[in-house]
Amino acid sequence: MLGRLFKKQPAIAKQSTDRVKTALVASAGTLIRTGKSPDESYSELFDEVQRTRVFTDGKTFVDLVPRQRVREIKREYMIAKKDPHFNLQEFVNRHFYEFNPYHRDDPYVPSDSTTAREHVTTLWDELKRRNRKNRGSLIALPHEYIVPGGRFSEQFYWDTYFIMLGLAADERWDGISGMVKNYAYMLRKFGMIPTANRTYFLSRSQPPFFASMVKLLARHKGRARTYTEYLPSLIAEYRFWMKGKKITGEHADRPAYARVVMMPNGVVLNRYFDNKTTPRPESRREDIETAELARSENKDKIFLDLRAGAESGWDFSSRWFRDVNDIQSIYTTDIVPVDLNCLMYQLEMTIAEAYTIIRQPLFAKRFHSSAEKRAETVRRYCWSNKTQFFEDYDFRSGHTTGRITLAGVFPLYAKIATSEQAAAVAKRIEKDFLHDGGLVTTFEKNGQQWDSPNGWAPLQWVAIQGLREYGYFELANTIRDRWLRSNENVFADKRKMIEKYNVMKAGDLGGGGEYPLQDGFGWTNGVYAALKDEQGK
Concerning whether 481 is annotated as a catalytic residue, the answer is no
**What amino acid is encoded at 283 in this protein?**
S
Q: Which helix (H) or strand (E) holds 454?
A: strand 454-455
The count of other CB atoms within 10 Å of the CB of residue 5 is 9
* Cα distance between the two ends of the chain: 45
For residues 90, 92, 95, 101, the Cα torsion angle rounded to the nearest 10 degrees is -110
Contact in structure between 271 and 335 (CB atoms under 8 Å): yes
Spot the catalytic one: 237, 274, 334, 499.
Answer: 499
Strand 399-400 and strand 393-394: the pairing is: antiparallel
The CA distance from 213 to 98, in Å, is 31
Say if CB 314 and CB 195 are below 8 A apart: no
Is the link from the previous residue into 208 a cis peptide, with omega within 30 of 0?
A: no
Helix ranges (H only) for 137-278 are 157-169, 173-190, 210-221, 223-242, 245-250
CA dist 23 and 460 (Å) reads 38
Strands 335-336, 393-394: pairing kind? antiparallel
CA distance 433 to 454: 11
Query: What letter represents residue 123's amino acid?
Result: L
Alpha-carbon gap, residue 421 to 433, rounded angstroms: 17
Instruction: Report the length, in residues, of the chain.
Output: 537
Residue 88, φ and ψ in degrees, nearest 5? -65, -40
Active site residue 499: yes
Four-residue CA torsion sign, 374, 377, 381, 382 = positive
Q: Are 437 and 482 in contact (CB under 8 A)?
A: yes
**Nearest 5°: phi and psi at 73?**
-65, -45
Please, are residues 335 and 381 in contact by the beta-carbon 8 Å criterion? no
Q: What is the widest separation between alpha-carbon atoms in the chain? A: 78
Give the C-alpha separation, 183 to 191, whole Å: 10
Angle at 400 between CA 397 and CA 401, to 5 degrees: 85
Backbone phi, then psi, for 169, in 5-degree steps? -60, -35
Catalytic residue among 63, 315, 334, 391: 315
Three-class secondary structure of residue 243 per DSSP: coil
Among 80, 367, 425, CA closest to 235: 367
Measured distance CA(332)–CA(312) in Å, rounded = 9
Helix, strand and coil in the chain, % to nearest 5: 55, 10, 35
Active site residues: 315, 499
